[in-house]
Structure 1
């Protein structure tokens, strides 16, 4: 009679994104019901249903095979469905678990859901409706698990990239400026443990002269300027050392909260080298300016890029009158052809020392 009751069942189309067919384990102490349920579920969609008449038998099957979902009765002689559910969850097994029972009580349903059941379904009623709902619930539970796994994997990859990044990364609440997270490079940059940073306002990262009210100057600028703008500023370590940094920041929204993520790159050494080069260039400039001999720089096209006072005075010009002009402007007519040949050889990499005659401004 049970089989004739299900002959009219028709497959219910489901939106499947998970692997097919789904491997389902159905646990119930009623052998006849298991047979009917297996037929109905395998008729409803791409399902492979294995059955177990007790929790103990189900455990044995789960050791031999991996299942996508578990459907279990509530009341069974030895170990009931809720005890089985609790045992699985206590051991970290998050397989989609659906209670499918004819003994439905509200308190039992609440307890099952609190223990981590995905659904609590009543098996009484019209077979097509009951098994259609069960099949749909199984698919929804499996898809929810896959979505959670995908999110966890995404978070794991992000955390791995975040922690292993060479640049320091700080994440703060955009409204309060409170630091919510930072990576290892960030802790190293300011010589503070993560526990000393998270929960503090981001102004703790900067020297006093960089602070405006509750925030650093760059924090305010990043909030109002376009995404990805790079700003230079300074940070201060726990022991008071000042470091030069450049910060690239972007804002993002997570769970309704607006956050700002800043990538800090230590440029202290670069700034030191740049300053050293500027100092050397200044010393060279002073040496050239005070030189007794004339110094004249031209580019590969013969255009004047620099002359010192001695050179300008030698020809009777000011430096401003000579800058930007071709060297040919100051050459005698006989020397122009020699200069043109010199330029051609110089472009080929030929280095040589030559003497030229120039016309003074007075002629």
Structure 2
């Protein structure tokens, strides 16, 4: 059963509550007038008036009241002496000193004595100030009381309860939580949760449990913690993500017998028990659902009938050498009744039951993880291909051009040589940056607020655009790596100049979460708009086919999204979104 996020839980004291106020004033008419105005100013209030301050504490003990409004000068007691009696009786509700005898000395004494609010009596407008003060003080006091009640409930709970912040640091654990791991809670506050888990289990948290918690808001299942002496503790966990970051962890220790029983009832994974010969002795419902067999069909089958990768001799040898109560993790591939297979991560542990070996295997479907790994591998292969093109096919002709330019500079004196040198140096910088990003990722980038208009105009000045013109509709600042943003614009401008014509108009304009670059050329057919970003794709025989692929790479490195659509004039419009 899914656990509700904390934001949806009902508070300890839900709903609007009436405010009950005790008004103490030795002048009966003033007391009644104060009470009348409070009931009129507050939406739902009830007042009780007293002219004898000595009767205040007995009244507070008999009735549930939320606030005291007291005069100062009330012989034989002063308002501050009344406060002292109230606090001495252990009554901690807000106390407002509302007096006509005001002075800096009285105000100072009131604050020192611990009065929650000090107000001087005046005209009718004073009562709205008093009512507002009473309402705010009562709300604050109730909130503090609810927090105290909440923590008392946490401390009284038999289950271990911990609060972990967004960095994985314990901010609170109750005594039951610390006791499960044979620790004092002062040892845990300020420490990372990984302190309580073996390395293999911590890796499982990072790879599977925490990503699911982030996606779904909650996670419940079985885990294994560590005591202060390094002993493994079987446990049941319920994790709930908090809106502000971090999560709440509820933990309960499970005995070995309970753990196996809980595995079969609660685990979302396939759980099977087999003997030393590989014969399946028991399976959970999940195993039947995933493999497509009835329980009676699976029990009695051998491991190698359902594990497409298992070799009987090697498996038996591995089981014999497996230490008792020491989990091992490896990957396999299970075969369903219909012949289809799927990859699994296997957690295997050896137990001794009545003198005989029993092996508990927890098989977790890792189809999605394998797909992600394969996609990452494909991306890395494309990255290596891209790096090879950049480092070899571009750097070599650049070095030749730079060398020839220096030889030319020795033979002739031309005003064009400095411009050519700067352009070639710019190419060298771009190549170095691209390789750094390809090899180091975003760590090689320096993010800062930059002005889109100035970067766009710098890029426009370095691109051969013929008679084309640039229009920047609105300037805005974005968080970006300056050199990479300039490179993005250069490639987009070069693309427009090559495909939209030498006299086209290129427009840079704002989007709600980014910006766009559009031209008034012939545009790109709908069925080619995704293909244009592929490496090597080009409709220009002289083009490298990497310009727009570089645009997408720069956008990806920033966490942005780039898409191609049609401009208002029917040309190409590149939209860069998700920009900070």
The question of a shared fold, defined as TM-score above 0.5 by the shorter chain, is answered with yes
Give the alignment of 1:69-218 within 5 angstroms: 69-106=67-104, 108-113=106-111, 115-124=113-122, 126=123, 128-160=124-156, 163-165=157-159, 168-175=160-167, 177-210=168-201, 217-218=204-205
Please say if residues 17 and 143 of structure 1, whose CA atoms lie closer than 8 Å, have aligned partners that are also in contact.
Answer: no
Task: Kindly report the root-mean-square deviation, in angstroms, between the aligned alpha carbons of the 2 structures.
Answer: 4.4
Change over 3 Å in CA distance of 1:122–1:172 after alignment to 2: same
Please say if residues 218 and 231 of structure 1, whose CA atoms lie closer than 8 Å, have aligned partners that are also in contact.
Answer: no
- More RCO (CA 8 Å, sep 6+): 1
1:36 alignment partner, one of 30, 33, 49: 30
Instruction: Name the SS of the counterpart of 2:275 in structure 1.
Output: helix
Instruction: Name the SS of the counterpart of 1:103 in structure 2.
Output: coil
Instruction: Name the SS of the counterpart of 1:277 in structure 2.
Output: strand
How many Å apart are 1:219 and its aligned residue? 5.0
Distance 1:44 1:132 in 2: 8
Unpaired stretches in structure 1, ≥5 consecutive residues: 1-15, 286-297, 308-322, 325-363
Change over 3 Å in CA distance of 1:268–1:106 after alignment to 2: farther
Distance 1:106 1:116 in 2: 16
How many Å apart are 1:122 and its aligned residue? 0.9
How many Å apart are 1:38 and its aligned residue? 1.0
Change over 3 Å in CA distance of 1:110–1:103 after alignment to 2: same
Instruction: Name the SS of the counterpart of 1:234 in structure 2.
Output: strand
Please say if residues 181 and 227 of structure 2, whose CA atoms lie closer than 8 Å, have aligned partners that are also in contact.
Answer: yes
Please say if residues 192 and 238 of structure 1, whose CA atoms lie closer than 8 Å, have aligned partners that are also in contact.
Answer: yes
Change over 3 Å in CA distance of 1:185–1:107 after alignment to 2: same
Q: Does 1:251 pair with 2:241?
A: yes
Cα-to-partner distance string for 1:70-123 (whole Å, 9 max, x where unaligned): 222224554422232234234431233211112323453354345442321111
Instruction: Name the SS of the counterpart of 2:178 in structure 1.
Output: helix
Instruction: Name the SS of the counterpart of 2:54 in structure 1.
Output: helix
1:18 alignment partner in structure 2? 17
In the superposition, the TM-score normalised over structure 1's length comes to: 0.55
Change over 3 Å in CA distance of 1:104–1:39 after alignment to 2: closer
1:277 alignment partner in structure 2? 273
Distance 2:199 2:249 in 1: 19
1:6 alignment partner in structure 2? none
Residues matched between the structures, number: 260
Cα-to-partner distance string for 1:121-163 (whole Å, 9 max, x where unaligned): 1113x2x223343344334444444444444444444554xx2
Unpaired stretches in structure 2, ≥5 consecutive residues: 1-14, 40-44, 265-270, 282-292, 303-336, 339-580
Please say if residues 244 and 271 of structure 1, whose CA atoms lie closer than 8 Å, have aligned partners that are also in contact.
Answer: no
Higher CA-based Rg: 1
2:50 alignment partner in structure 1? 51
Distance 1:284 1:136 in 2: 72
Distance 1:244 1:150 in 2: 34
Distance 1:84 1:197 in 2: 44
Instruction: Name the SS of the counterpart of 2:126 in structure 1.
Output: helix
How many Å apart are 1:52 and its aligned residue? 2.0
Change over 3 Å in CA distance of 1:87–1:236 after alignment to 2: same
Distance 1:123 1:224 in 2: 59
Cα-to-partner distance string for 1:324-355 (whole Å, 9 max, x where unaligned): 8xxxxxxxxxxxxxxxxxxxxxxxxxxxxxxx
Instruction: Name the SS of the counterpart of 1:229 in structure 2.
Output: strand
Give the alignment of 1:348-363 within 5 angstroms: none
1:293 alignment partner in structure 2? none
Distance 1:116 1:73 in 2: 15
Please say if residues 70 and 95 of structure 1, whose CA atoms lie closer than 8 Å, have aligned partners that are also in contact.
Answer: yes
Please say if residues 18 and 46 of structure 2, whose CA atoms lie closer than 8 Å, have aligned partners that are also in contact.
Answer: no
Instruction: Name the SS of the counterpart of 2:30 in structure 1.
Output: helix
Change over 3 Å in CA distance of 1:95–1:27 after alignment to 2: farther
Please say if residues 75 and 81 of structure 1, whose CA atoms lie closer than 8 Å, have aligned partners that are also in contact.
Answer: yes
